[in-house]
Amino acid sequence: MTERILDFSQQPGRLRYANGLLVLERHEEPDVTFPLGEIACVVLGHPQITVTQAALGQLAKVGIAVVCCDEKFRPSGMLLPLDVHHRQSQRFEFQAKLT
């Protein structure tokens, strides 16, 4: 398990998913890629960071936490994978079977 934390607080950009990689696109700069298997957590601190739904879905799927920060760079929210917590998964399965 990796301990790599990606902190996107310094400049605007767009995060997307492609071929097992988290891709950071920045205006007039080359794309930067990060293998999902090397990431433990992603921190979204800059107010002009955008993230595609595909990227969020893949991050959750492989168990990577995503932390959103407010204007003072304090954590204000978190996206956590649901499959990791067995009780929550059982609850969702039960709710899905309800009429």
b/e map 49-86, b = 16+ CB within 10 Å: bebeeebbebbbeeebbbbebeeeeeeeeebeeeeeee
pLDDT at 81: 79
pLDDT at 83: 67
The pLDDT tens digits for 21-76 are 999 999 999 999 999 999 999 999 999 999 999 999 999 998 899 999 999 999 99
Query: Is the distance from CB of 75 to CB of 68 less than 8 angstroms?
Result: yes
pLDDT at 87: 61
pLDDT at 1: 53
What would the mean pLDDT of 81-94 be, rounded to a whole number? 68
**Cα–chain center distance at 37:** 13
Cα distance from N-terminal residue to C-terminal residue, the chain: 40
Residue 19 corresponds to which tokens in the numbers above?
């071929």
Please name the helix (run of DSSP H) or strand (run of DSSP E) that holds residue 21, with its range, or none: strand 21-26
**What is the tally of helices (H) and strands (E) in the chain?**
2, 8
